[in-house]
Amino acid sequence: MEVIKQVSTIREKVQALRCGGKRIGFVPTMGALHEGHLQLLRASAQENDVTICSIFVNPTQFNNPDDYKLYPRTLEQDVELLKTVNCDYLFAPGAEEVYPQQPLLQFSFGPLEAVMEGEHRPGHFNGVATVVSKLFHFVQPHKAYFGQKDLQQVTIVRQLVQALSFDLELVCYPTIREEDGLAMSSRNKRLNVEQRQIAANLYNALQMARGQLGQKAVAAIKEDIRNYLNQQDQVELEYFEVADVNTLQPVQDLSEVQEVALCIAAFVGPVRLIDNLLVNLKEE
């Protein structure tokens, strides 16, 4: 596997690959790789001639300076993991490569960014859209791989791809979980042993909500989830939402939708985690 740090080098490499008729799969990440990332990388290696992974902890998408400063960075370990999944190139640029000038772009995703992560992390999706657009230009993938754990992100990126006519296929893979149900996440590395155990309650809460869907009104389910998580030490719920899976807008009346996304964001100790479950109401 070749590690590339410069934008000019990745551009040259990609141009040569495309001229040679190679199909490029791309997995953008912020590193501290885990099985969730590896699943995306394996899929890319299977479905494309060449796989490029990027690792860039993108400053413009962090609304909280501590979150940026403390984000896990494990590059050496990541390189070893990437070799195990047949990744061909790691693109790991510095911030000065990606942002030679202050980015001034303003994206607008309408109602999609007014809820959940967009509402609670001001500027977050502007930063994601900026860096993903740049990465797509640098890497020019035929296929780009994202995870369902960041459901709102993949929905926004889908809108971005359409709006800017990126010539690529976007694919989304299901959330990989630990044995107790906790969604794998790089930020889990910041949890201490006690917080790591407590964190599984986010998944328990989602399962509890799923079980109540046919029995209770949305408002009552939300109240139960808030009460359940309030009882847990070191957990502070930021939001729990029942959203239409297509628009991610809050659902009041379950009879009006076919499939919902149960979405949660909560602090466990100092670490903010998110998770979601998709539920097809007609199949429940």
Instruction: Classify 30 as helix, strand or coil.
Output: coil
Name 96's Cβ contacts closer than 8 Å, sequence gap at least 6.
Answer: none
Sheet bearing 24-29, strands edge to edge: 2-4, 89-91, 50-55, 24-29, 143-147, 169-173
Cβ-based nearer residue to ligand ATP, 133 or 186: 186
Residue 130 sits in the site that holds ligand BAL (CB under 6 A): no
Binding residue for ligand PAF (CB under 6 A) from 30, 183, 229, 265? 30
- Residue 108 marked ligand-binding: no
- Residue 176 marked ligand-binding: yes
Instruction: Provide the phi-psi class of 109: left if phi over 0, else alpha when psi is between -120 and 50, else beta.
Output: alpha
Q: C-beta of 145: minimal distance to ligand BAL in Å?
A: 13
Sign of CA dihedral 157, 158, 164, 170: positive
Residue 218 CA to residue 205 CA, distance in Å, equals 14
Tokens of 196: 């790591």
Name 19's Cβ contacts closer than 8 Å, sequence gap at least 6.
Answer: none
Binding residue for ligand BAL (CB under 6 A) from 78, 150, 241, 275? 150
Residue type, 6: Q
Residue 61 sits in the site that holds ligand PAF (CB under 6 A): yes
Q: Which residue is nearest to ligand BAL (CB)?
A: 150
Residue 131 sits in the site that holds ligand PAF (CB under 6 A): yes
- Residue 187 marked ligand-binding: yes
Cβ-based nearer residue to ligand ATP, 29 or 140: 29
> In sequence order, what DSSP letters do the residues of 15-65 get, joined into one string?
HHHHHTT--EEEEEE-SS--HHHHHHHHHHHHHSSEEEEEE---GGG-S-H
Residue 148 sits in the site that holds ligand BAL (CB under 6 A): no
Name 57's Cβ contacts closer than 8 Å, sequence gap at least 6.
Answer: 30, 31, 68, 71, 73
Cβ-based nearer residue to ligand ATP, 130 or 185: 185
Tokens of 257: 């939708």
Contact yes or no for 207/238 (Cβ under 8 A): no
Binding residue for ligand PAF (CB under 6 A) from 44, 58, 140, 155? 58
Residue 275 sits in the site that holds ligand BAL (CB under 6 A): no
124 has catalytic annotation: no
Contact yes or no for 241/116 (Cβ under 8 A): yes
- Residue 153 marked ligand-binding: yes
Cβ-based nearer residue to ligand PAF, 150 or 242: 150
Binding residue for ligand ATP (CB under 6 A) from 17, 41, 132, 184? 184
Residue type, 34: H
Pick out the residues of the known binding site for ATP: 30-37, 147-150, 176, 184-187
- Residues catalogued as catalytic: 37
Under the rule (CB under 6 A), what is the footprint of ligand BAL? 61, 150, 153
Under the rule (CB under 6 A), what is the footprint of ligand ATP? 29-30, 36-37, 40, 146-147, 149-150, 173, 175-176, 183-187
Pick out the residues of the known binding site for beta-alanine: 61
Under the rule (CB under 6 A), what is the footprint of ligand PAF? 28-30, 58, 61, 128, 131-132, 150, 153
